[in-house]
Amino acid sequence: MDSADIDRQWWKEAVVYQIYPRSFNDTDGDGVGDIPGIIEKLDYLDELGVDVIWLNPVYESPNADNGYDIADYQSIMDEFGTMSDWEDLLDGLHDRDIKLIMDLVVNHTSDEHEWFVKSREGDEEFRDYYIWRNGRTDVDGWTGHLGPDDEAPPNDWGSFFGGPAWEYDEDVGEWYLHLFDVKQPDLNWENEEVREEVFSMMEWWLEKGIDGFRMDVINLISKPPSVTEHNPPEPDGFDATFDGPKIHEYVGEMGERVLSDDLLTVGEVVGDVSMDDARQYVGRDGDGLGMLFHFDHMLLDRGGDVWEYYGYDLTDLKDVFRHWQKSLEGEGWNSNYLNNHDQPRMVSRFGDDVEYRVESAKLLGTLLHTLHGTPYIYQGEELGMTNYPFERLDDYQDVDTLNPVQNALDEGVIENFDDVKDSVAALSRDNARTPMQWTDEEHAGFTDGEPWLAVNPNHEEINADTAREDDDSVFHYYRNLIALRDDDDVSDVLVYGSYDDLWPSHTDLWAYTRTLDDERLLVVLNFTSEDQQFRLPREDEDHATYADELPLHAGEVADLDTELLVSNYDEDVESDPTEFALRPWEARVYHLS
């Protein structure tokens, strides 16, 4: 890539830290994290060096889905504090030159939102804010166990959280659509007044001073005609909900009406998103989003149910990242993440969380911070926090775990929980939601009360206090990775350099280059608990096992200045990047100029 082609934006050069407030820090002893708790830890975030906080929902909510069922977009949930607390948080962040983006959840609301209450009551102004439809009466053999005996739901879609995607309301005499929990009715984006309400609400938050939005399941807001029309054609399959027929019209309208290049905007897109759609969402002449959260790498090791866990192959993981890195190059921007509030802990999923926890946590961090795109850190990732040792179904809180498993047990799909407990424990979202581990004291210093979700017992070893005192900890390694984006010698190639995979078929090593003009980074990662050998190919050898077009060969290095920029092992690290042995989970980054 040529530096003349750089389209600079502050959010491309930033590092984002995600806070799940319910589990971050509790100051009032009720066992639930709160906004004053975040304020209490602002110096910690400043010390880490992050540029942006992504705050999961703190809006008024009955908590059917831990805040993703919003009852009032413009008020703060009592558990979390007050609007004055939130304003103090924003000021405290901005005083430290840290920006704030809010979670935008506009595919659905809570069924306790005023709009839905009035819609359910028959208020004509709000009737079409949601998707109400008559059931089907021509379905043979329907038992009517979820509605009247003589009709079935409008179609046979299932919800993401288990069970049907339609709920029959006896008072209304119709069914409403909920792609998620029954208490999360989907908004009807066909209704222009709904869009006006959403855009007005977004502008209200921007006027309060926030710096962007993370957009929850944004590619689901456009539904197919078989759902949106009152006299619909034949039902569509559930896949028709992904990137629906008017999705770019709606997101593009949002981009034109509300968004700007100065905002950090990242849209969560579920399902099998085509690259044409991806480029339209984030392209220079597209819908106006800055980047996307896709799930291609998050689905490699699992099936459709939370108990279907298969593990992953490194080559498949590399393929996904290469596809997105190269396909958006020059046309859009990537977000880079390996865990968040909806995913298990990355060191347990992609690393070795027992013998090489520290080394593999550092390696995974190296990957995320040296790819092309904006890196996202999920709270506790910088400590190397691990999955929780769940044993019983009663240990879980998450509806996305409890509902599907309980339904499968009730229907005989699985005979007993013990048959699937290990897989469920590996994949459940609750792994990410266990409280932040601040100290080695009771409840990890998270709360003086009883935590809403159990604290991982390994907090006596893995905690922020211990990590900050240890210069070789994951925490300090992350500080160094983050600081590289402000290092004048390497920041441009690190942020804007093109990505090229050196050895895509290697099952154990991930090696790639980042290139901008005459500057290069060589990144080599050993994704195993065994020693591995690496060497750059020679120009004149048969390099069929390497990439088709070599981005770098050994002969070129002789004419370059080389510097070992990053290593997660402190001792006996060679400065020669052409050939070397890698220890278990070793990561190296060389600067070649």
pLDDT at 570: 84
Paired with 152 in beta bridges are: 136
Q: Which tens digits make up the pLDDT trace of 250-295?
A: 999 999 999 999 999 999 999 999 999 999 999 878 999 999 999 9
pLDDT for 537 equals 84
**145 lies in some domain:** no
For β-strands 16-19 and 52-55, DSSP reports them as parallel
Please write the tens of the pLDDT for every residue from 411-436. 899 999 999 999 999 999 999 999 99
pLDDT tens readout for residues 155-164: 989 999 888 9
Q: Could you give the number of structural domains in the chain?
A: 2
Active site residue 239: no
Give me the sheet containing 562-567, strands edge to edge: 498-501, 509-516, 519-526, 587-592, 562-567
* Mean pLDDT computed over 368-388: 98
Tell whether 25 and 105 lie within a shared domain. Answer: yes
Given 51, 211, 216, 492, the catalytic residue: 216
Under the phi-then-psi rule, with left for phi > 0, alpha for psi from -120 to 50, and beta for the rest, what region is 579? beta
Question: The pTM is what?
Answer: 0.96
Tokens of 98: 């840290």
The pLDDT assigned to 285 comes to 86
Q: What is the pLDDT of residue 56?
A: 98
Read off the pLDDT band of 306 (50, 70, 90): confident
Q: What is the dihedral of CA 401, 59, 159, 434, to 10 degrees?
A: -10
> Taking CA 589 as the corner, what is the angle to CA 350 and CA 547, rounded to the nearest 5 degrees?
75
**pLDDT for 457:** 98
- CB 524 within 8 Å of CB 534: yes
Cα–Cα distance for residue pair 259/312, rounded to 1 Å: 37
The domain that holds 65 is classified in CATH as 3.20.20.80
Query: Quick one: tokens of 386?
Result: 């691990």
One-character DSSP codes across 126-160: TGGGB-EE--BS--TT---TTS-TT-B-SS-PBPT
Distance separating alpha carbons of residues 380 and 463, to the nearest angstrom: 9
| Pair 240, 286 in one domain | yes
Q: Which range is least confidently modeled, 40-44, 204-208, 396-400, 453-457?
A: 396-400
Say whether both 201 and 238 belong to one domain: yes
- How far is 54 from 59, CA to CA, in rounded Å? 14
Report helix angle 275-282 to 314-327, nearest 10. 50
Check residue 558 and give its pLDDT: 80
Strands 212-215 and 374-378: unpaired
- Given pLDDT bands bounded at 50, 70 and 90, which one contains residue 393? very high
Say if residue 266 is in the same domain as residue 347.
Answer: yes
> Is 173 within the bounds of a domain?
no
In 179-330, which ranges are E strands? 212-215, 264-268, 291-293
Q: Report how far Cα 349 is from the mean position of its chain's Cα atoms.
A: 15
CA dist 317 and 296 (Å) reads: 9
3-class DSSP state of 346: helix
For residue 506, the domain's CATH number is: 2.60.40.1180
Query: Does 139 reside within a domain?
Result: no
539 has a pLDDT exceeding 90: no
pLDDT band at 541 (very low <50, low <70, confident <90, very high): low
Residues 506 and 445 in one domain: no
Identify whether 117 is part of a domain: no
Mean pLDDT (the chain, rounded): 94
pLDDT score for 327: 96
Look at phi and psi of residue 443 and say left if phi exceeds 0, alpha if psi is from -120 to 50, else beta: left
* 259/367 same-domain check: yes
11 vs 360: CA distance, rounded Å: 27
- Judge residue 17's burial from the number of C-beta atoms within 10 Å of its C-beta, 0-12 exposed, 13-18 middle, 19 or more buried: buried
Assigned domain for 239 exists = yes
| pLDDT score for 575 | 77
Condensed to tens digits (0 to 9), the pLDDT of residues 549-587 reads 778 877 888 888 899 999 999 877 777 899 999 999 999
pLDDT at site 146: 80
Q: Residue 590: pLDDT above 90?
A: yes
Domain assignment present for 169: no
Specify the range with the lowest mean pLDDT, choosing from 109-123, 142-156, 275-289, 369-383: 142-156
Element (H, E) at 590: strand 587-592
What's the whole-number mean pLDDT along residues 295-312? 93
Asked if pLDDT for residue 546 goes beyond 90, the answer is no
Q: Is 508 exposed, middle or buried (0-12, 13-18, 19+ CB in 10 A)?
A: middle
pLDDT digit string (tens) for 222-261? 999 999 887 777 788 899 999 999 999 999 999 999 999 9
Q: Does residue 342 sit within a domain?
A: yes
Q: CA–CA separation, 400 vs 429, rounded Å?
A: 8
Give yes or no for residue 27 having a pLDDT over 60.
Answer: yes
Q: Find the catalytic residue in 69, 268, 301, 359.
A: 268
pLDDT band at 538 (very low <50, low <70, confident <90, very high): confident
Determine whether 216 is an active site residue: yes
- According to the model, what pLDDT value does residue 559 have? 82
Q: Are 333 and 291 in contact (CB under 8 A)?
A: yes
Per-residue pLDDT at 142 exceeds 80: no
pLDDT at 383: 98
Together in a domain, 516 and 464: no
Q: The domain containing residue 252 runs over which residues?
A: 9-109+192-474
Same domain, 393 and 533: no
Same domain, yes or no: 375 and 292: yes
Interval 217-221 mean pLDDT: 98
The answer to whether residue 441 sits within a structural domain is: yes
Residues 331 and 430 in one domain: yes
Where helices occur in 8-50 by DSSP H, the ranges are 35-40, 42-48
Assess whether 416 and 283 both reside in one domain.
Answer: yes
Length of the chain: 593
Q: Are residues 457 and 405 in the same domain?
A: yes
